[in-house]
Amino acid sequence: MRNRYAHVVLILLLAQDLSAQYCSPTFANGCFSWRTLEVQAGSINWAPGADDCSLSDYTTLSTTVDAGTMLPMRVLNGTWCGCAVWVDWNQSNSFEDSENLYFIYVGGSPSYEYQFGITIPLATATGAYRMRIISPWGSDGFQTSNGNGYGPCGAFQYGDFKDFTLNVNGVLSVTEETSEAFAIAPNPSMGFTTITGLPTTGTIEVIDARGAVVEQAVVRQGRAQFDAQGWSRGVYTVRMAGARFSRRFVVE
């Protein structure tokens, strides 16, 4: 009886492990010259080498980014290929439409170079996240109107895909090096805002909840000022370039 229960538990564990695996897109006619040729993103610098398109899991290759920042990317694709990028932000072992960060089809022969940036959401927690890049022939990889295939696990005619890892430093994990004199006033704010207690010189950035930089201000004698009048209501983050700290404030 004990062995029977142990066997059932093993089956359940195996089933759970299989269900946690990421699905994969299919490319009915293979890749040939319709494929990913190079990927550059931070410290990720990938080229195919002996890869014959049968390899897709390159999650051992990673780059580290801070929440609320933009990661510049360069993807060189083969003949008449588009480009689409997803990141599994909720770590659900799947890619939702809301996790698509880039899609476009330009294409060219024998290749086309896509240069763009993806924004790391400000609220992203510290952790490792899977990033998927699809290089589909004759498709932007995302829109349902694409006759040659779409979606992170879709059925395409030609192309390939590569998965990498993004290591994110969440905002709350950033070490704060400012003194107790650091202050944002007024907070909450509806307009003119002053930051004090900063390092003597530098530049501060104000970032919204989407991770976009909405304001920059020069620090003079430990102070910086900006006008939040007309901004959308919500939580913003003040960050100083070159100093590892952040502070949040509210716009009403």
* Shared domain check, 221 and 161: no
Answer whether 191's CB lies under 8 Å from 227's CB: yes
Q: What is the pLDDT of residue 252?
A: 83
* Shared domain check, 131 and 226: no
Structural domain contains residue 9: no
Q: Is the pTM of this model over 0.75?
A: no
Q: What is the pLDDT of residue 18?
A: 36
Structural domain contains residue 89: yes
Q: What is the pLDDT of residue 9?
A: 40
* Shared domain check, 46 and 67: yes
Please give the residue range of the domain that contains residue 138. 19-171
Question: What CA–CA distance (Å, rounded) separates 160 from 146?
Answer: 16
* Shared domain check, 218 and 148: no
In 3D, which of 218, 181, 214, 219 has the Cα closest to residue 200? 219
Given 131, 153, 171, which residue is the final one in a domain? 171
Q: How confident is the prediction along the chain (252 residues), in pLDDT tens digits per residue?
A: 445 444 444 434 443 443 358 999 999 999 999 999 999 999 999 998 877 788 999 999 999 888 878 899 999 999 999 999 999 998 999 999 999 999 999 999 999 999 999 988 877 888 899 999 999 999 999 999 999 999 999 999 999 999 999 999 875 444 444 445 678 899 888 999 999 888 888 888 887 766 678 888 899 888 999 999 998 887 788 877 655 567 778 888
Q: What is the pLDDT of residue 141?
A: 98
* Shared domain check, 163 and 67: yes
